[in-house]
Each structure stands twice: as C-alpha cells, then as structure tokens.
Structure 1
C-alpha cells in the first residue's frame, strides 16, 4: 500500500535536511553522548556497551528526524545537543582526567 501523498515531504531541501540530520546528525549526537559518558564513568564499560546502545540511539534519532515536520529545526536541535555533550566531555576531561 503506497503512502498518502499529503504526508510526504515535497521540498527537496527538506528531504535533504531530514536525510542528513537522520544519518549524520544522529551519529554525531549518539557518539558525543557516549564520549561524554566516558569522561565521567569508566571508559571500558562505556566502550563495551556503546556498540549496542550507540546503534539503538542512532536509529531512534534517525526515526525522530524523519517524523519531524522541519528538517532544519532537527539539525539545530542535533547540533545544540552535540555541543552540549561536547561541553560535558570537555568539563569531564578537565575536572576528572584519570577516569
């Protein structure tokens, strides 16, 4: 059964933004999240579990990007989230360098 045309994205720029946000943005968010965790928790445990949880988080973020109405807002949200996790990573390495 084909999809209803009124629910599909007609703009090629929105389609491009959703596809790239889902693939690239979701990957950046999921990896920055796990890297931020390694700066505060034992890195060995996080690296072992990130093989599974990283894929689950990435797939979830990809679905969220395609459900959203505006791909550029999702890009903004993913960039802000990545910057937040990167700052947590920076603070973790600054205040807790031996973990």
Structure 2
C-alpha cells in the first residue's frame, strides 16, 4: 500500500533538519541534562542513570523531532535546552556544588 502523498510533501532541507535535530540535538540535550544534574545531585547515581534513562530520553527526543512541522524550530528548541543545561553545568562548576 503506497504512502499518502500529503505526508510526503516535506522538502529535503526539512527532512535533514528533523533527522539531524533528532539524532544530534536529542543527544546533546540528553547528555547536557544528565551532566548538569550530576553537578547538583550525586554524580555517580546520575551517570549510572544516564546509561539507561539517557537512551530512553534520546529515543523520545529523536521521535519528537518528527512530530514538529518545522525542523529548524525543533533545532532551536534543542539548542536552547542544551544551552540551559550547560548553564547548570557552569553554575555547578563555579559554585562547587558537585554532589
């Protein structure tokens, strides 16, 4: 059964933006979140959680990128979240809050 044509109207740039945002951007958000948490909570527990929950979060963020109409907007959201969590890393390093 062929796919419905209305779902195949995305351009090549949008397809690339969604795939790269899901793969690279989702990974950046996942890692920056967990490393940011490692400065505020016990880092051994957080890094062990990153092994399993990190993979699940990355998969959810990868799939979420395909639900958005504009791939560049999801890139902007993922970059904003990465910068936000990187700010948590910076504050954790600056104030020495490592758990």
Which runs of 5 or more structure 1 residues have no equivalent in the other structure? Answer: none
Please give the residue correspondences for 1:69-88 in structure 2 after superposition, counting only pairs within 5 Å.
69-88=69-88
Cα distance between partner residues in 2 of 1:12 and 1:98: 44
Cα distance between partner residues in 2 of 1:83 and 1:13: 24
2:43/2:98 contact within 8 Å kept: no
Cα distance between partner residues in 1 of 2:51 and 2:9: 32
1:33/1:82 contact within 8 Å kept: yes
- More displaced 10-residue stretch of structure 1: 88-97 or 15-24: 88-97
Cα distance between partner residues in 1 of 2:46 and 2:68: 30
Cα deviation, 1:47-69, whole Å, max 9, x if unaligned, reads 11110110011000001101110
Cα distance between partner residues in 1 of 2:12 and 2:41: 42
Which portions of structure 1, spanning 4 or more consecutive aligned residues, are displaced by more than 4 angstroms?
A: none
Matched length: 99
Which runs of 5 or more structure 2 residues have no equivalent in the other structure? Answer: none
TM-score normalised according to structure 2 size: 0.93
TM-score normalised according to structure 1 size: 0.93
RMSD, matched Cα: 1.2
- More displaced 10-residue stretch of structure 1: 4-13 or 71-80: 4-13
SS in 2 for 1:47: helix
1:36/1:88 contact within 8 Å kept: yes
